[in-house]
Structure 1
Amino acid sequence: MKKRRILATSLAAILAATSLAACGSKTEPTETSSADTATTQAASTAAPSDTSAASGDKVSLSLCWWGNQTRNDVTKKAVDLYMSKNPNVDIKVEFTDWSGYWDKLSAMAAGGNLPDIIQMDYSYLNQYQKSGQLADLSEFMSSGLIDTSKIPESIIKSGNVDGKTYAISLGSNAPMMVYDKAIVEKAGVTIPDQLTMDELYDLSKTIDEKTGVKTLYDGGINMMQIMARANGSHLFDELSAGTEDSLKIYFNTIEKFAKSDSSISADLLAEKNPDVVETKPIIDGTTWNDLSLSNQFISISKAAGRDLAITMFPTITDAKEQPLYLKPSMFFSVAETSKNKEEAAKFLDWFTNSTECNEILLAERGIPINTEVADAIKTKADPTAQAVFDYVAKVTEIATPIDAPDPSGKGEVEALGKTVSEAVRYGDATGDDAVGQFVPEAKNILEQAAK
């Protein structure tokens, strides 16, 4: 039964990691519109932009993002505010969770009907830009339509490819570990600013003995990258070269936690689905911890409904470098096929630079990139949001430079990693077996994607 389950999971994961030419997913996003007359922007080829905006006629924009219920609520509220201030603009919003988002976006790209405004991730930016799907925003910045005067140059450059800007960061965040204060206190342990993986393993045993609550050890691509960075390297450099050093640490650590009774079981982890905020095992107290990114702390805390805290993402024992980094939490890009690029750019400017807008969002996508806006809303943030501000400030003091944007083929590598990691969790492969399978297959994926 285990083998059959692993095979099914493997096929599902590989199919999920489609390229831009993929056929789309079965995940259907929720759609809402603030006006019955709203129409979906579906342009299959680029066209002259903004003629209707210039004449004062009604302009329809479409906006697509991945998210959870908290993000959906605040984003729609912000969009409604924008439309009330710009009555000639109607914005149709469309969202789904992370696991279905990239399949959906891939299908839309293949059909030539990407939304005007796309929530973009750092790891997918190169892929979409290289295939000509994203508009160059540099001209709107040069003209001042998108005001960048209060945005650090390094943040602007995070959305650059080949010297041009294809994405605007929506906030800064960092890898984090979330933990339940009450459970930790009951176990009589103290969580330091940054654990090592070995310390996390030892803590997991104590917490399980004292409280019966299990530990989550993440096995996703973010953890792979953290392992490589702590080992003084970069994941995709190692995979392109066929190097196994960091991946041995990664898969053997998964095996170590999987064999421990203090860890959440593979079956329960699959049932809970930690990729979705509302079903993360920390939400119902199945685990005392979660490994994520800081911009998700607000949503996780709200879904859990109890007092949670943040500490730094774990590193490895005898780390060669500090693996933590500041990351653009996500971006907004404009589709090259959009017929209303200028109007879309105006929305990006407002979303980024409006204090009124960010008083609604309250750093849910990360700390605002406009420094004046960040200072303005920090004083109005509730204790949960304030914890995110404080955490990002702490990481800023020790962060090392972020890896280069992920190469083409990253999605397939990530799906392969999930499948191989799951095999280790279920006991169908050892850590060494996983390394021997994953590294050459990942190297081949990257080589094929680069052609």
Structure 2
Amino acid sequence: MPLPLPSPTTRRGPRAGRLGWRLGAALLVVVITALSACTAEDAAPENDKVQLSIFWWGGDRRAELTKQALELYTQRYPDVTFEFTHQGNAGYYDKLSIEAAAGNAPDIFQIDDNYLTEYAQREILLDLTDYVREDLLDLRKLPAGLAQSSQVTGRTVAAAAAENTPGLIYNKSLLDRLDMPEPQIGMSYSDYLNWADEITDRSGGKVFGTMDPSADYKAFWLWLRSQDKELYRGRQVGFTESDLTRWFELWAGARQRGAAPPAKVIQPANSGDVTKQLVTSGKAATSFVWSNQLPELQKLSKDTLKVVSYPGDPAAHWARASLYWAAFRGTRHPDTVVHVIDFLVNDARAGEILGTERGLSANLDVRRTVEASLTDESMKQSVAFETAMADKFGAAPAPPPKGHAAIKQLLITAAESVQFGRASPRSAAASFISQANAALTS
């Protein structure tokens, strides 16, 4: 029976675990050298100080909290300091790719499932499999699906920084004013669109009942999963032209009947930009986003917002890694880098500092600690929703293949061609399938 692990707040130092044999060997060398030397002063100690570079994208709040967490690490391990670099999402991967190609990528960096598989296949990411096996990177307190999502072709190549799942954000205050019921977990798409129709009617057409998410890959993916299909099957799309045609037709019908807005209202939100979501602009009663975005959306609305699962079978949802921490394969300090990642994932105090900025803490024990410390009501609600969904989650799919970012953009293009009447649902679907499979196999 394996011995119990240390608690998250008492994890071993950056030179623990498999470094033990190296230290033993080093001590033996030191003893032999000392015995053969004329004086002890002749032996110069090795400089053990390490500075690690770390890179992520996000706003000022994320930067502030991440720095605080890493400064806590340095307080505990003074020989390890950090060089921080952060920026907005735009251009992040361009910079990271250039640095990796030049062999000077940051020691630790943030990555998401848009590029996890691609970077693993390009051998940019440090293989963490042995560290997990030897318990130098502990993923046992993560939900099984979340730990599994860090694997590409059976190798652990990253560690989930946080968890989220898609969430339908709705305007509770508006529903109260219209004397409308709140949407429920497990609503069928048919029931959902009838509900949205009623909102449009009761508001006199001033507010549409639902956003049209036909350009949203995660909404389409969950719709597929409710039919036992997936967005991907290996390096090909996991659905047919007929499936995508039906998806486009579903939302074309919603627009025609007035449940969803016209194209010119929908388009600004198609990119996923939180500041342009229709639930906060007052143009629709709902938006299809990520559940952990509720606090950010709430700040943009005077009304009370709430969150529920997307329409359809809730088992289509899964515990998704919102972001990962990964290490550069060429780092000169792999053991220390892994220890830092373990700290960010598993340390209770670090978790309290980071809060829910990237999503819910990946470590379930840390998550409970963070939940108890929350004061923001919308954050509490986001955490409560994810907790309530935990026993409803389906199995996590494999991380998306290389080309996922291109697929997301192709779906937006295809959906908008239907929204604006430039293409029929079938012709847009046929064009998408042809381009998507080419993008996935290039």
* TM-score, normalisation: structure 1: 0.77
- 1:393: how far off? 2.3
Partners of 1:187 and 1:424 in 2: CA distance: 31
What pairs with 1:204-215 in structure 2 (closer than 5 Å)?
204-211=196-203, 212-214=206-208, 215=210
- 1:92: how far off? 1.1
Matched, 1:418 2:415: no
Q: Is the 8 A contact 1:61 1:344 kept in 2?
A: no
Q: Corresponding residue for 1:225? A: 221
Partners of 2:275 and 2:227 in 1: CA distance: 33
Which of these residues, 359, 365, 372, is aligned with residue 372 of structure 1?
A: 365
Q: Is the 8 A contact 1:231 1:246 kept in 2?
A: no
Q: Corresponding residue for 1:270? A: 267
- 1:291: how far off? 0.9
- 1:174: how far off? 1.7
Q: Corresponding residue for 1:3? A: none
Partners of 2:158 and 2:246 in 1: CA distance: 34
Q: Corresponding residue for 1:173? A: 164
In structure 2, give the amino acid aligned to 1:224: F
Which of these residues, 245, 250, 257, is aligned with residue 248 of structure 1?
A: 245
Amino-acid identity (%): 22
In structure 2, give the amino acid aligned to 1:290: S
Which of these residues, 199, 216, 232, is aligned with residue 211 of structure 2?
A: 216
In structure 2, give the amino acid aligned to 1:236: Y
SS of equivalent residue, structure 1 residue 205 = helix
Q: Is the 8 A contact 2:165 2:320 kept in 1?
A: yes
Kindly tell me: are residues 153 and 414 of structure 1, through their superposed partners in 2, closer, same or farther at Cα, counting changes over 3 Å?
closer
SS of equivalent residue, structure 1 residue 188 = coil
Q: List alignment gaps of at least 5 residues for structure 2.
A: 1-45
Q: Corresponding residue for 1:195? A: 187
Partners of 1:435 and 1:74 in 2: CA distance: 43
- 1:345: how far off? 1.9
What pairs with 1:88-127 in structure 2 (closer than 5 Å)?
88-97=80-89, 100-127=91-118
Matched, 1:348 2:341: yes
- 1:63: how far off? 1.8
Matched, 1:57 2:40: no
Kindly tell me: are residues 409 and 205 of structure 1, through their superposed partners in 2, closer, same or farther at Cα, counting changes over 3 Å?
same
| Structure 1 residues 109-130: Cα deviation after superposition (integer angstroms, max 9, x where no partner) | 4444433222222343221101
Q: Is the 8 A contact 1:172 1:328 kept in 2?
A: yes
Kindly tell me: are residues 256 and 118 of structure 1, through their superposed partners in 2, closer, same or farther at Cα, counting changes over 3 Å?
farther
Which deviates the most, 268-277 or 338-347? 268-277
In structure 2, give the amino acid aligned to 1:217: D
- 1:334: how far off? 0.7
| Structure 1 residues 12-66: Cα deviation after superposition (integer angstroms, max 9, x where no partner) | xxxxxxxxxxxxxxxxxxxxxxxxxxxxxxxxxxxxxxxxxx834351412223x
Q: Corresponding residue for 2:122? A: 131
- 1:427: how far off? 1.2
Partners of 1:143 and 1:392 in 2: CA distance: 31
Partners of 1:434 and 1:340 in 2: CA distance: 49
Which of these residues, 130, 146, 150, is aligned with residue 137 of structure 2?
A: 146
Q: Is the 8 A contact 2:55 2:109 kept in 1?
A: yes
Which of these residues, 294, 305, 308, is aligned with residue 305 of structure 2?
A: 308
- 1:336: how far off? 1.3
Which of these residues, 318, 323, 326, is aligned with residue 316 of structure 2?
A: 323
Which deviates the most, 378-387 or 169-178? 378-387
In structure 2, give the amino acid aligned to 1:401: A
Partners of 1:175 and 1:60 in 2: CA distance: 34
Q: Is the 8 A contact 2:171 2:304 kept in 1?
A: yes
In structure 1, give the amino acid aligned to 2:324: F
In structure 2, give the amino acid aligned to 1:55: N
Matched, 1:394 2:379: no
Which of these residues, 224, 232, 235, is aligned with residue 236 of structure 1?
A: 232
Partners of 1:302 and 1:358 in 2: CA distance: 23
In structure 2, give the amino acid aligned to 1:414: K
- 1:134: how far off? 0.3
Kindly tell me: are residues 143 and 193 of structure 1, through their superposed partners in 2, closer, same or farther at Cα, counting changes over 3 Å?
closer
In structure 2, give the amino acid aligned to 1:323: A
Partners of 1:278 and 1:323 in 2: CA distance: 27
Matched, 1:293 2:300: no
How many residues align? The count is 389
Q: Is the 8 A contact 2:129 2:156 kept in 1?
A: yes
Partners of 1:283 and 1:113 in 2: CA distance: 42
- 1:415: how far off? 1.7
- 1:309: how far off? 0.7
SS of equivalent residue, structure 1 residue 330 = strand
Partners of 1:157 and 1:250 in 2: CA distance: 29
Partners of 2:72 and 2:280 in 1: CA distance: 31
| Structure 1 residues 405-449: Cα deviation after superposition (integer angstroms, max 9, x where no partner) | 212222222221111111111111121221221122222332x33
Partners of 2:253 and 2:66 in 1: CA distance: 41
Q: List alignment gaps of at least 5 residues for structure 1.
A: 1-53
- 1:178: how far off? 0.7
Which of these residues, 410, 429, 433, is aligned with residue 435 of structure 1?
A: 429
* TM-score, normalisation: structure 2: 0.79
Matched, 1:361 2:357: no
Partners of 1:187 and 1:395 in 2: CA distance: 28
Which of these residues, 397, 408, 429, is aligned with residue 403 of structure 1?
A: 397
Q: Is the 8 A contact 1:353 1:373 kept in 2?
A: yes
Q: Corresponding residue for 1:280? A: 277
Q: Is the 8 A contact 1:322 1:400 kept in 2?
A: yes
In structure 2, give the amino acid aligned to 1:349: D
Partners of 1:428 and 1:362 in 2: CA distance: 45
Q: Is the 8 A contact 1:368 1:374 kept in 2?
A: yes
SS of equivalent residue, structure 2 residue 56 = strand
| Structure 1 residues 375-424: Cα deviation after superposition (integer angstroms, max 9, x where no partner) | 22222223322222221222222221122221222222222111111111
Q: Corresponding residue for 2:331? A: 338
In structure 2, give the amino acid aligned to 1:285: G
- 1:172: how far off? 2.4
- 1:372: how far off? 2.0
